[in-house]
Amino acid sequence: MTEPEAAAGERRFLPQVVPIEAYGEGGFRFGGMSHRGSILCLPSGMHAWALAGPAEFSLETFQPVFAEAAGIEILLVGTGGDVAFFPEALRWRFRDHRIGLEVMPTGAAARTWNVLLAEDRRVAAALIAVP
């Protein structure tokens, strides 16, 4: 997603993917910068994600992921401090796009992101900020 195509309130921080340096206290640190709130790590770069919790999961909130599906083999979904239910209808949508889905607490997802990124995998992450 380029800057002009970004949804209202969405913002791209970096035009490339980078490791997560730290997480917690309501945000993330990556690429030498910090952000309060949730993030999407997509092939097009690191983006703000206007999502406060798993209850907000919908086709619309994952639309940026579907838009970049051709470059994604697996999506890591960090659901906050605990693992959360991921709707079956959404799981099917990811299967339709041939994207593997791994749902886990945000800390585990951030650590897994770093490992898969270092392995040069076609990975993306949708990470809900934790307090």
In a domain, 1, yes or no: no
**Domains: count for the chain:** 1
Asked if residue 3 is part of any domain, the answer here is no
Q: Considering the domain boundaries, does residue 52 fall inside one?
A: yes
- Residues 59 and 1: their CA atoms lie apart, in Å, by 17
Range of the domain at 82: 10-127
Q: Domain holding 112: CATH number?
A: 3.40.1230.10
Q: How many CA atoms lie within 13 A of 89 on its CB side?
A: 5
> Is 79 part of any domain?
yes
Residue 2 lies in a domain: no
Query: Is residue 6 scored above 80 in pLDDT?
Result: no
Q: Which residues contact 1 (CB under 8 A, 6 or more apart)?
A: 10, 12, 42, 44, 47, 64, 67, 68
With a cut of 70, say whether residue 120 has pLDDT above it.
yes
d(CA 62, CA 19): 21
User: Would you give the distance in Å from CA 115 to the centre of its chain?
Assistant: 15
Residue 118 lies in a domain: yes
Do the domain assignments include residue 4? no
Express each pLDDT in 78-118 by its tens digit. Answer: 999 999 999 999 999 999 999 999 999 999 999 999 999 99
Contact 108, 14 (CB under 8 A): no
Look at residue 12 in the predicted model and tell me its pLDDT: 67
Task: Establish if 65 belongs to a structural domain.
Answer: yes
pLDDT digits (tens, 9 = 90+) for 16-45: 899 999 999 999 999 999 999 999 999 999
For residue 14, what pLDDT band results from cuts at 50, 70 and 90?
confident
**Global confidence as pTM:** 0.90
